[in-house]
Amino acid sequence: MKQNDSYRQIFDKYYKYVYAVVFNRLRCCAKKEDIEDCVSDVFVDLFRFLDSGKVCGNIKSLLYGIARNKSADMFSSITGKNQRTVSLDDGNAFDISDESDIESDSEKREIQKMLLQIIISLGEPDSVIIMQKFYYNKSSKEISEMLGIKADAVRKRQSRALVKIRELLTLNGISPKEYLL
């Protein structure tokens, strides 16, 4: 019975964390039920691993690895079903519109990749706060509930993270005014 209590405590303590990791990977393609199933699968795998007795190290990092892998598998299975193929015989398949500015689009994508890398480099929970706030339009209260910290702390961390992001963008020769609020 003690083992079940321990597992319940682990689940209660890390549920929001695992949900955030899985949600970040699957938000664009999965239904809420799929995300919840994936979170459940993460804990099932964790408990099986704990039962094997091979555990060494931090449970949080172990959970992150399992959540990342499970959500990647689910992402592949969901998007794999929805992929469309294009016939090479179709003459219009590779037409590029004259109106598109390929160079500008490419530059924007590179800057967006750099911005995402900078956000990720902030580490957790700052990167999660920025992603949830600016990519998913979540309020400080919603983010605080997701991460289990106070809304004031979310706002303060967000403010500090934005300062860091501006500095790093400037160091890379990019005007932060174009990409940040």
13-27, 100-114, 137-151: range with lowest mean pLDDT:
100-114
Res. 16: pLDDT tops 70: yes
Res. 100: pLDDT tops 60: no
Give me the pLDDT at residue 37, please. 92
Res. 109: pLDDT tops 80: no
More confident residue, 161 or 89: 161
CA-wise closest residue to 59 among 119, 109, 9, 5: 9
Asked if residues 75 and 58 have their Cβ atoms less than 8 Å apart, the reply is no
Q: What is the pLDDT of residues 46-75, one digit of tens each?
A: 888 888 876 666 788 888 888 888 988 888
Residues in contact with 142: Cβ distance below 8 Å, sequence separation at least 6, in sequence order? 132
Q: How far apart, in Å, are the Cα atoms of 101 and each of 50, 64, 65, 93, 179?
A: 53, 39, 39, 18, 19
95-109, 132-146, 156-170: range with lowest mean pLDDT:
95-109
Across 155-180, average pLDDT: 78
Distance in angstroms (rounded) separating the CA atoms of residues 152 and 156: 6
